[in-house]
Structure 1
Amino acid sequence: MKTNFRLLRYSLIFIVCLLLGQVNFAQTDAKPQLQEGLTLLQNQDFETAIVKFQTILQAEPNNDKARHGLAIALIGTEKFAEASREIAKLLARAPQNAQFLEMAAQSFWQQKRFAEAEVVLRRRLVLGDERAAIWALFGDTLDAQKKTAEAATAYEKAVKLAPESIDLRYALGSLYWKQIRYRDAENEYLEILKRQPDEPRASFNLGDIYLTNGNAVKALPYLKRAAKAFPNEYDTHFALGRAFLATRQFEQAIAEFQIAVKLRSDIPEGYFQLGLALQRFGRREEAKTAFRKAQDLQNAKRASEKVTNPKN
């Protein structure tokens, strides 16, 4: 759960920029058709917009506003490779255009071409006038390449530009968590909870940090909140069960582990922890059954690994 809740999304914000006429290349006689294309974009009728802009470009190959519109429409239909080719043509004519660089980075990101996205974003950031969303996309691009420390630095800049953003702070906290910078992660999650006391993602991660560092009592209220918010998540019930077990609340621990193994019956550790809780509560026969189940799952996992990766 620590990294799966990143909610920051990069929408087609450049549609608005286009509609506001921020791209001011000299154009020719296609103004009425361009206006129709812009209206189609505004209405998110991307397929029809593609046809409209392609028609303009057949007559006027150097019509940059039409190519800009075509790139946006292609991104809107998730044709990212085609969009990248159109954006490359725009950048060949305007290599320092911030909008085009952002669009290029977005299309590369969607294609998982993270190294190329990083290069383009570095070019964009040199231009200045950066927004929090650009630093966040840069951070995600670095994180996707396992450059976690650099990604955290990028997100620090994003948070500085938008300190009230819950999503940015959550992402930054998760990056700190990856680096085992628990104190820094804790601070970010606490900042989130100051702004939104019932935020469940921050609650879970904060509880997990406290539990990992041996403070189950402090972890409990945060993990209870997370389990209530995410009743169908294995991780929340498993962590809450561990906190109950560590504080010798065995009956509550059993209940949480039972929910956890129902949600994920394929994970040996869930049954093992259930066995521990049952054993300590005096339900020894049930504990033996849980331990056997954990061992069976572990044996099956090892056998599967041997088949998948046989020794030479």
Structure 2
Amino acid sequence: MTKNELGIQAMQKGNFEEAAKYFSEAIEENPTDPLLYVNFGNLLAALNDHERAIRFFEKAIEIDSNTATAYYGAGTVSYNKNDFVKAKDFFEKAMKNGLESSDLFFMFGMTFIQLEQPRLALPYLQRAIELNEKDIDARFQYGLCLAQFGQMEEAKKELSIVVEQEPNHSDAYYNLGVAYAYEENIDKALSMFNKALDIQPDHLLAGNAKKLIEEAINR
């Protein structure tokens, strides 16, 4: 195995110091390989060392401006620093340079949500699901966006798949309840809120929604 491969293996096992050693040695031996800087950047990002991580991603881009994974890494770090405008720019460059992964589309969609542009998030979240049907987070966020624009049938369909894949997803049950309440299907809404509370008894939103419906029924 190469030192780069040993570094990746060590990182996957959580042996971060060992991974850093291998990546450093690999860079010393081959300082013009951009992927080595990307991997070191990923390691630093995993350790929440955002500033140094960005520098490694930027070094990879300096060596080869077509390194899509470097843009993705820099975008993820920017997102985690709440710099969503910069994150959007990095993700866009990753896409333009040929990166096609469910993680990229999910993060791009989430960036638009953070920028309060949920309509722009929709196609990216949808694409994330197409590339990975088991991406529960992407499907959940996609369902929320659909509901936000009144597409309740589609929203319920996506959120129902979420709870099929993750039966303990209390937030998905809560939002299913909201969708049914929106359609004035009170019995179904209460059922969903109760399921959310069975999973998470301190789910404040579900508890409040259930209370409001029960008060309305008893008037």
TM range (shorter): 0.7 to 0.9
Q: 1:179 aligns with which of 67, 74, 81?
A: 81
- For residue 150 of structure 2, give the secondary structure of its aligned residue in structure 1: coil
- Provide the rounded CA distance (Å) in 1 between the counterparts of 2:183 and 2:99: 34
Mapped contact 2:67–2:97 kept (Cα < 8 A): no
The Cα of 1:257 is off from its aligned counterpart by 0.8
Q: Measured at CA, do residues 226 and 145 of structure 1 come closer, stay the same or move farther in structure 2, by a change above 3 Å?
A: closer
Mapped contact 1:207–1:218 kept (Cα < 8 A): yes
The Cα of 1:138 is off from its aligned counterpart by 1.9
Could you say which residue in structure 1 is the equivalent of 2:94? 192
Could you say which residue in structure 1 is the equivalent of 2:137? 235
The Cα of 1:220 is off from its aligned counterpart by 1.3
Residue pairs, 1:8-157, within 5 angstroms: 12=1, 14=2, 109=11, 112-118=14-20, 121=23, 129-157=31-59
Deviations 1:10-57 (A, max 9, x none): xx3x4xxxxxxxxxxxxxxxxxxxxxxxxxxxxxxxxxxxxxxxxxxx
Q: Flag structure 2 segments of 5+ consecutive residues without an equivalent.
A: 204-219
Deviations 1:85-124 (A, max 9, x none): xxxxxxxxxxxxxxx7x68756754653323543565576
Q: Are residues 1:272 and 2:174 paired?
A: yes
Q: Are residues 1:260 and 2:134 paired?
A: no
- For residue 201 of structure 2, give the secondary structure of its aligned residue in structure 1: helix
- Provide the rounded CA distance (Å) in 2 between the counterparts of 1:103 and 1:287: 51
Q: Identity over the aligned pairs, expressed in percent?
A: 22
Q: Are residues 1:288 and 2:190 paired?
A: yes
Equivalent residue letter for 2:108: L
Deviations 1:177-212 (A, max 9, x none): 221121121112111332448654322211111123
Mapped contact 1:274–1:290 kept (Cα < 8 A): yes
The Cα of 1:286 is off from its aligned counterpart by 0.7
Mapped contact 2:41–2:73 kept (Cα < 8 A): no
Mapped contact 1:139–1:155 kept (Cα < 8 A): yes
Equivalent residue letter for 2:198: D
Q: Measured at CA, do residues 283 and 198 of structure 1 come closer, stay the same or move farther in structure 2, by a change above 3 Å?
A: farther
Could you say which residue in structure 2 is the equivalent of 1:32? none
Which protein shows a greater Rg?
1
- For residue 163 of structure 1, give the secondary structure of its aligned residue in structure 2: coil
Could you say which residue in structure 2 is the equivalent of 1:97? none
Answer 1 or 2: which has greater helix percent: 2
- Provide the rounded CA distance (Å) in 2 between the counterparts of 1:222 and 1:128: 36
- Provide the rounded CA distance (Å) in 2 between the counterparts of 1:103 and 1:252: 43
Q: Measured at CA, do residues 300 and 172 of structure 1 come closer, stay the same or move farther in structure 2, by a change above 3 Å?
A: same
Mapped contact 1:241–1:253 kept (Cα < 8 A): yes
* Matched length: 203
Q: 1:166 aligns with which of 68, 90, 110?
A: 68
The Cα of 1:275 is off from its aligned counterpart by 0.9
Deviations 1:64-99 (A, max 9, x none): xxxxxxxxxxxxxxxxxxxxxxxxxxxxxxxxxxxx
CA RMSD of aligned residues (A): 2.8
Equivalent residue letter for 2:151: Q
Q: 2:146 aligns with which of 244, 248, 256?
A: 244
Could you say which residue in structure 2 is the equivalent of 1:209? 111
Q: Measured at CA, do residues 132 and 257 of structure 1 come closer, stay the same or move farther in structure 2, by a change above 3 Å?
A: same
- Provide the rounded CA distance (Å) in 2 between the counterparts of 1:276 and 1:235: 19
Equivalent residue letter for 2:52: E
Mapped contact 1:233–1:263 kept (Cα < 8 A): no
Q: Measured at CA, do residues 145 and 259 of structure 1 come closer, stay the same or move farther in structure 2, by a change above 3 Å?
A: same
